[in-house]
Amino acid sequence: MKSITIKSVRSPFILRFAVLIFLLVLAGIGAVPGYWTGNWSWATLPQVTNLSEIRELRNTGLELPGWKTVEQKTVVIGGHQWSVQQIEQDKSKPIGLLLLPQSDHKSQPQVEWIDIDGLVKWQTDSYTKVQFEVEKSLSDKSAGTAKGTTPSAKVEARFFRAWTQRRTVAVLQWYAWSGGGNPAPSRWFFADQLAQLRRNRVPWVAVCLQIPIEPLGDIEASRPFAESLGKIVQTALMQVI
């Protein structure tokens, strides 16, 4: 029978202990400023400073350069108020742009993609990813002069084909925030936690683009267009969030 050495027993314990110490250090970094001011981070969640502007997207939709809004309305999906917008360019087939802005200071991305699936009741396949980068111009509002640009914001979106008896679409979905975007709520969560250590927040908006394609057509033919439109949407949202 294989013997168990003291070293083999201690190794998992040492690893867990090191992880615990690391987490305590992170917690301490966030707690120290609050300790001296009397405001503990877990007692006073930092506020989203531009929440009212973000929520207004539910009523106005998103203005995109070079695109015309054919229709925009607020629709309740999964108990949340979404902006459902139809956009077109050069009389092409309208593209669906669905936006769910953060509703309050505590709201987090959760099951938005499942909510849309439940509403549309479409069939899906050909799941893949689209990755792109955008830059956000910064301006010094007090001086009215340009200060430069931020580093590129990296976005990863899930890309798949969906269809009903009426139509087939290429779907692009992600959670957008000022520093990037990702379809996984966990990626936003970690970004927001890091921001809270500095007493900041990371506002978010759920995005779902529905691009019409040929019945059961190959979505790879739509990939370049989806990526290009995704960049436009992300850039426009970064002016708000």
The pLDDT of residue 150 is 54
| Residue 56: per-residue pLDDT | 98
Domain check: are 34 and 70 in the same one?
no
Q: Are residues 35 and 61 in the same domain?
A: no
pLDDT at 15: 57
| Rounded-to-integer distance, Cα 205 and Cα 137, Å | 19
Are 157 and 38 found together in one domain? no
- pLDDT at position 17, please? 60
Residues 24 and 143 occupy one common structural domain: no
Q: Are residues 32 and 56 in the same domain?
A: no
Q: Please check whether residues 137 and 169 belong to one and the same domain.
A: yes
For position 6, what pLDDT does the model report?
Answer: 42
Residue 11 confidence (pLDDT): 53
Q: Which residue carries 């992300």 as its tokens?
A: 234
Does 216 lie in the same domain as 157?
A: yes
Residues 96 and 132 both lie in one domain: yes
Q: How far is CA 56 from the centre of its chain?
A: 17
Do residues 132 and 165 share a domain? yes
- Sign of the dihedral defined by the CA atoms of residues 165, 166, 169, 173, in that order: negative
What is the tally of structural domains in the chain?
2
Same domain for 115 and 190, yes or no, is yes
Task: Provide the domain limits for residue 156.
Answer: 51-238
pLDDT at 25: 54
Of 9, 28, 44, at which residue does a domain stop? 44
Residues 29, 57: one domain? no
What count of other Cβ atoms lies within 10 Å of the Cβ of residue 65? 7
For the chain of 241 residues, list the mean pLDDT of each consecutive stretch of 10: 46 56 52 44 77 97 97 97 97 96 95 96 98 74 42 94 97 97 97 94 98 96 98 97 92
Q: Is the pTM of this model over 0.75?
A: yes
Regarding whether 232 and 208 lie in a shared domain, the answer is yes
One-letter amino acid for residue 97 of the chain:
L
